[in-house]
Structure 1
Amino acid sequence: HRTTSVLSKLLFALPNSPLQYPIQGYTVHPTQLILQPGGSLHLWCPPFGSGVTTTTCNNDLAAALQCSGFSNEKFGVQFAQFAQNSFYSVADDLSQVTIATKTFLRYEQLKVLLDSIRKFYSTIKVIVADDNFEPEHITGENIQHYIMPPAQGWFAGRNLAVSQVTTKYFLWVDDDFLFTEKTKIEKLVEVMEAVPELDVVGGSVKENQFYFSLIYEEGEETEGGCLYRKSNKKLHSVPGYPQCFLASGVVNFFLARTDAVQRVGFDPKLQRIAHSEFFMDGLGYLLVATCGDVSIDHQHVARSARYRKFRNPRKDDSEFKLQLHFFKNHLKCIKYG
C-alpha cells in the first residue's frame, strides 16, 4: 500500500535569485495554475537612487518591481515554458501519418469511410483492426487489415491497430465516420509540430467539439481518491493557436504521437465501456488539446439488433469498470459532470 516517505517533506530552494520555490514535497496537478506554498520574492533595494529593480529575461520579458515600502512580500508566480519549433515539419508530408480504426459488425460503414479517405488522401496508410465473427477481405492500396478473434472488444482492437503504426503520428477514427472538406489532417499535424510537448490533439465530430477535464482529489491511503470528469471544460489556449485549448480528454477523432500513446496503451479488459478510461490512464503522462477548426462527419445508419446487443453495456460491465478503477487507479469514486 502507499506510504509517505522522506520525499513528502516540503523543502524550498534558498533565494539566491529573487525567487524562493519548493523543490520537494508539493503536488502539482498537470496543466493547472497553482499558487506555490511559501513562495516569495526576496528583493534587495539600493540605499540610494530610484528604488526600482528591473530584471530582463532572454525572451524579452521585463519585470519592474517597486522596492520602496515593502520587504519580503509574497507574490503568486506563473511559470511559462517556451518550446522551440521543429526545423523539420511534416505538416505537408503525410507519409508520417497513419489512419487507424477498429471495426465490428459494420463492414458497410467501414467501406464508406475508406472511400471518403481516398477521396481526400489517396495514398495515406490505413490500418484496420477487425474482430468480426465472419471476417470479410478488405482490399485497397496501402490498407493493412488485421483480423482478430471475434468480439475481443473496443480497447483490444485499439491496442492492435496502434501497435502496428510505424509513423510518427496516427489519426484515430471510428469505422462509421466520414471524411469531408473540413477533415484537414495537415492542420492537426501543424499544431503538433509547432508545440512538440503535445501528445494528442482532437477535433470535432459533426461540428460537436467534445472534450473534458479530469480533476483528481486525493483521498486516504486505504481508500484512494476521487476523479471528476467535467465535460466541455477546457484549460488555457495553445500558444499561437487560439482555436485550440488544452483539455484532459477529447472525442474519438484525434491525432496522436505514436510513441506517447503506445507507452500508455489501451486496457484490453475494457471491452464495451471505454473511452475516457484511456485519458484517465494517461493523466499526467499525455498533454492533450482540442481544436475546433478540424472536423469529421458521422454516418447516419440504423444499428442492427445484433450490433446493439454488443454496443449497449450490461450492468456487470459497468460494475467491473468501477472495480477496475479502484484496484488499478486506486480510486474510490468517479464523478461525471
Structure 2
Amino acid sequence: MKVIHKNAIKTIVFCVLLLGALFHFWNPWTSLRVDVRPREGGPIQEQIFAKTANLIGLYPDVPFHIKEAVAHRLAQNTCVCKADEKTFKVPLLNQFFPPVWAQNLQKAFLGNHPDPEGVKRHRTQEYDKFKIRSSSPADVLIVAEANNPLQYPSQGVEVQPLKTIIIPGLALKQNKRSNYLVNLTAELGTFDVAATVEGVFIKGGGEKHITLSGSRLSALNQQLQFVTYTSIVFHPKTADSVQFATEGHQAFFTIKIGHRTIPNLYNSGHSRDYNITALVTIATKTFLRYDKLKDLIDSIREYYPSITIVIADDNEHPQPVTGPHIEHYIMPFGKGWFAGRNLAVSQVTTKYVLWVDDDFIFTANTKLEKMVDILERTTLDLVGGAVREVTGYAATFRHTISVEKGGTEGDCLHIRLGYHHVIEGFPNCVVADAVINFFMGRTDKMRQVGFDPRLSRRGHLEFFIDGLGLLHIGSCSDVIINHASKIVLPWRKTDEQKAYEKFRYSVQSNLSDEIFYFKYRMKCSTSQ
C-alpha cells in the first residue's frame, strides 16, 4: 500500500513538472527575445560593400582626362573654413557685399575648457552611437551587375514589423540547363512560400535562408511569385538586406521594415476661400515689453479680428493680457526665448502657426492669405516674409546653409546670404534654408524640429540648422510686417527698456560655441 502511495506521489509530481514546462514553452505571452541594441551592418552588408568596391574602378589601365569644368562641382573632402581676405576699405562696401568670416569652433569651445580631451572623446563616442542608431541598410549603395540572370526589386519593398508580404518581381532568366536553383538570405526576417508549384523543391521554409530548385525554369519562376518574407525582429523603422543568388551570380536588395506613417490632418472646415481664423494661429513670446505687445495685438485685430493669438510670457511680474481669442501662458521668470517658442507652438491647434516678435506691427501688406496660399499649393513646410524697419528697408534674411563632411575633428558649416531658386508661379518667392523671424509653418513640422531651450537670450539660425533636411523653406518678399522703432535716445529709455537690453544682450558664456561644436559636431563655420 505504501509503495502504491509513493508511486502515486511521484506520478503527480512528474505531471505537475511536465505541465509547468509545457505551459512555459507554449505560453502565448512568452515572446522571442531579440537584440534591439544599435548595431552596425551584418555579414550581408559586408558582402555588399566588398562587391560594390570590386565593381567600381575596374579599369586602372585605361587612361582618362579630367574635365575641370565638371570636376570642381563634385563633392570632395574639402572641409575648410576660410574667411575672406581683407582688402582696401571702401565706404558701405561691407553693407552691400558682406565678407565671409570664419570661426574655429574647436578652438572657441575647447580653448578654455578644463578637460578638452575628455570632451573630444565624449563627442566622438556620442557621434559613433548616432551613426549606428541612424544608419539603415536602405542607405547602402547597391550596384546591379550587367547581364545578371537574377530579376529582383531594387526598391519599394516594405513590410510592417512582424508582418508578412510577398516579395514582388523575383525571377530567374537563364539558359536551358538540367536544373535551376536560387536561394535567398536575410538577417531580420524569414522566407516561405504562399503556394507550392509542382516540380519545385523547397528547403528552408520558415528560416532566414531558403533554397528553391527545379528542372523546369517556368515552374521555378512561378514558384518565385509566391515567396514571402516575414519580419521577425520588431523595430519601428529599419531595413533588412536580402541576398538573392544563383550559381555564379548574386544580387542584393533591401526590404524596408516599419510602421505605416500616420497622417496628421487638421479639420479646418471646407471653404472656397482660405479661412485664416480656422487655418492659422499667431504665436509670440514676450518679455518686459507689454506696451509693444499691446500694439501688436491691436494691429492684428485691425485685420484679423477673430484669429487666435498664443502668448508665452516669462516676465518676473506678469501682467494680465486679456481679450477675445487670446491665450496667455505664464512661464518661470527668464526661462528664455526658445523655451517660449516651444511653449507657444505646443498650444497651437490649427494647421499653420505664424511666428511674430512682440514688437511687430501688422499692416495692409501683412497678407497671411498669401502665406497660406503658397503652403497649400507647394511642398513647402515653412515660408518667411519681410520685416520693414522705420527706415523703409524691408529685410528677408534669406540664407543658404550647407555642411561639408570633415574627418574625425568634425564637419564644416557654411552659411551664406542668398537663396537657391525662384518658385515657379510665385515670382516674389524663393527657396532658401533660413529666413527672417516672421514666418508661417506647418504646425506638425515645426514641432518636429523644435527649439533648443538652452538658447534663452539669443537664437535664430539654430532652429534652421536643426531643421536642415527636415524643412522645405521658402521666403516671400511681398508679405510684409512692420518693426516697431528701436531708435530711442539714451536719456529717454525707460527702466523696462534698460532691463530688457540687459537680459537681451547679456553674454551667454560660450553656449553657442558648445552647440555648434558638440551638438552639431562642427569643427568650424563660415558665415556671411
1:91–1:190 contact (8 Å) kept in structure 2: no
**Could you say what secondary structure the match of 1:219 adopts?**
strand
Could you tell me how far 1:273 is from its partner in structure 2? 2.2
- Please tell me whether Structure 1 or Structure 2 has the larger radius of gyration of its CA atoms: 2
| 1:262-301 superposed matches below 5 A | 262-301=447-486
Could you tell me how far 1:190 is from its partner in structure 2? 0.3
The equivalent of 1:200 in structure 2 is 382
Paired positions, count: 263
Amino acid across the alignment from 2:401: L
- Percent of pairs identical after alignment? 48
Amino acid across the alignment from 1:227: L
| 1:86-235 superposed matches below 5 A | 92-94=274-276, 95-195=278-378, 197-206=379-388, 207-220=394-407, 222-231=408-417, 233-235=418-420
Could you tell me how far 1:272 is from its partner in structure 2? 1.4
Question: Can you list the C-alpha shifts for 1:185-243, whole angstroms capped at 9, x where unaligned?
Answer: 00000000000x211100000022221110111111x3220111112x10112232121
Question: Can you list the C-alpha shifts for 1:221-273, whole angstroms capped at 9, x where unaligned?
Answer: x3220111112x10112232121110000001001000001011000011112
**Could you say what secondary structure the match of 2:446 adopts?**
helix
Quick check: which one's helix share is greater? Answer: 2
In structure 1, C-alpha distance between the alignment counterparts of 2:416 and 2:282, rounded to whole Å: 29
**Could you say what secondary structure the match of 1:296 adopts?**
strand
Structure 1 gaps of 5+ residues are 17-22, 25-87
| 1:33-52 superposed matches below 5 A | none
1:101–1:174 contact (8 Å) kept in structure 2: yes
1:91–1:189 contact (8 Å) kept in structure 2: no
1:90–1:96 contact (8 Å) kept in structure 2: no
The equivalent of 1:314 in structure 2 is 507
Could you tell me how far 1:334 is from its partner in structure 2? 2.2
TM-score w.r.t. structure 2 length?
A: 0.48
Structure 2 gaps of 5+ residues are 1-126, 148-153, 156-269, 389-393
2:401–2:433 contact (8 Å) kept in structure 1: yes
| 1:77-92 superposed matches below 5 A | 92=274
Could you tell me how far 1:10 is from its partner in structure 2? 4.0
2:423–2:429 contact (8 Å) kept in structure 1: yes
Matched, 1:324 2:515: yes
In structure 2, C-alpha distance between the alignment counterparts of 1:277 and 1:91, rounded to whole Å: 35
Could you tell me how far 1:122 is from its partner in structure 2? 0.5
**Could you say what secondary structure the match of 2:395 adopts?**
coil
Could you tell me how far 1:12 is from its partner in structure 2? 4.0
Q: CA RMSD in A?
A: 2.2
Counterparts in 2 of 1:144 and 1:219: CA distance versus 1, 3 Å: same
Could you tell me how far 1:180 is from its partner in structure 2? 0.3
Counterparts in 2 of 1:10 and 1:150: CA distance versus 1, 3 Å: same
Amino acid across the alignment from 1:237: V
Question: Can you list the C-alpha shifts for 1:265-323, whole angstroms capped at 9, x where unaligned?
Answer: 0000111120000000000000000001100001114461111111114161xx11111
1:90–1:193 contact (8 Å) kept in structure 2: no
Could you tell me how far 1:327 is from its partner in structure 2? 1.8
Could you tell me how far 1:90 is from its partner in structure 2? 8.0
The equivalent of 1:46 in structure 2 is none
2:457–2:508 contact (8 Å) kept in structure 1: no
